[in-house]
Amino acid sequence: MSELRTYDIDQILHRWPSLPHLGNEVVCFMSRYDDIHHPLGERYFNRELILVLLLAGRSDIRLNGWAVSLETGTLLLHGPGYLTDHRYATPDIEFITLSLSASLWKEVPSLARTVSRVVASMSRDGDCTLRLDSAATGRLRRGLETLMTILESDHRFLRRRVQLLCETLMLDIADSVVRRTVVREHVSRRERLLHEFHTLALQHFREEHTVGFYADRLAVSRQYLTRVLRAETGRGVTDILSELLLAEARSLLLSTMLQVGEVAERLGFGDTAVFCKFFRRHVGCTPLAFRRQRGLCRPGAPSGWPCGIAGRDEK
């Protein structure tokens, strides 16, 4: 079973630093089957605004539990807080991915309005995909390829240029959203429950760790909720919550200066020792040892280094 990863621009650039990007606010890149940046079977928790344009081939994913098929000319677009599970891709697959941080698009009021409206409209329609005709696909592809070229330049006003191009891209997408006809397929009760649970879990996993909370909010029994999740995903409620907590814990431990106790508090653990026990049970080492293994904590580290208090963290 693959490890649930956290997907944001920092994580992408940590793994592939040569991709076209602007700081930790924009990354845009082309992928094919041989160099795919999200291997089959990989699962990740998204933190950014994500746009994926499929240029060739086909891919099957699960997005917050929904089964989604992407074909040539399909645009996938959604905001942060989605859980993606890559299931299948054809060998001829080719696509462009754009990831934008809120700090970039919220800075420009007109861009912020367009992004918010597009994401809200697609969320309201219950469909994060758009089927584009050849002309719209071509325009969007050219815009994304231009963005990749700009990101690799030393333009004096690079940030503003990127924002203007992103606004043009989002306006074209907004036009397609307005024109589209939403075809609502029959969704079974189990499929809807699966999607609603994932959406709820991504909103509350940091503070709510019990099966009862989610069963009550979804108006089903704990047993029924667990049975549906295991049948559809092979994981129970506690398994999914634990994966989300661990992905968030790894991200906080590696990318922030927070003490281990502060990480525990952010993730809803009232006791640091309980968090350390939970982390060690699933990862095989304590949070402090996890940081040490990645060179983030060492003997004689300066004051303020994100090591936590050794005696407490090693419990």
Residue that is last in its domain, among 179, 201, 226? 179
Residues of the chain with pLDDT under 70: 1-2, 36-41, 181-187, 296-315
Task: Give Cα separations from 28 to 23, 97, 165, 231, 303 (angstroms).
Answer: 12, 6, 12, 36, 37
Residue 102: inside a domain, yes or no? Answer: yes
- The residue type found at 203 is Q
Residue 221: inside a domain, yes or no? Answer: yes
Q: At 146, which CATH number?
A: 2.60.120.280
Q: What is the largest CA-CA distance in the chain?
A: 63
pLDDT digits (tens, 9 = 90+) for 99-127: 999 999 999 999 999 999 998 888 877 78
Predicted pLDDT at 297? 58
Instruction: Give pTM, 2 decimals.
Output: 0.78
pLDDT digits (tens, 9 = 90+) for 159-187: 999 999 999 999 999 998 888 765 556 66
Predicted pLDDT at 310? 39
In this structure, the answer to whether residues 129 and 153 fall within a common structural domain is: yes
Residue that is last in its domain, among 179, 200, 216? 179
What is the number of domains present in the chain? Answer: 2
Residue 184: inside a domain, yes or no? Answer: no
Residue 196: inside a domain, yes or no? Answer: yes
In this structure, the answer to whether residues 239 and 153 fall within a common structural domain is: no
Helix (H, G, I), strand (E, B) or coil at 48: coil
Sequence-distant contacts of 259-264: CB under 8 A, at least 24 apart: 259/306, 259/307, 259/308, 259/309, 260/287, 260/288, 260/307, 260/308, 260/309, 260/312, 260/313, 261/308, 261/309, 261/312, 261/313, 263/287
Count of CB atoms within 10 A of residue 222's CB?
A: 15
In this structure, the answer to whether residues 30 and 150 fall within a common structural domain is: yes
Place of tokens 């991915």: 97
Q: At 222, which CATH number?
A: 1.10.10.60
Say how many CA atoms lie within 13 Å of 261 toward its Cβ: 8
In this structure, the answer to whether residues 100 and 136 fall within a common structural domain is: yes
Residue 151: inside a domain, yes or no? Answer: yes
In this structure, the answer to whether residues 136 and 194 fall within a common structural domain is: no
In this structure, the answer to whether residues 155 and 19 fall within a common structural domain is: yes
Predicted pLDDT at 181? 61
List, as one string, the DSSP characters of 267-285: TT-S-HHHHHHHHHHHHSS
Domain containing residue 268: 189-313
Predicted pLDDT at 126? 74
Predicted pLDDT at 6? 81
Residue that is last in its domain, among 145, 179, 213? 179
Residue 69: inside a domain, yes or no? Answer: yes
Distance CA 96, CA 73 (A): 11
Helices (H) and strands (E) in the chain, counts: 13, 11
Q: What is the DSSP letter of 92?
A: T
Distance CA 286, CA 292 (A): 10
Predicted pLDDT at 273? 95
In this structure, the answer to whether residues 144 and 280 fall within a common structural domain is: no
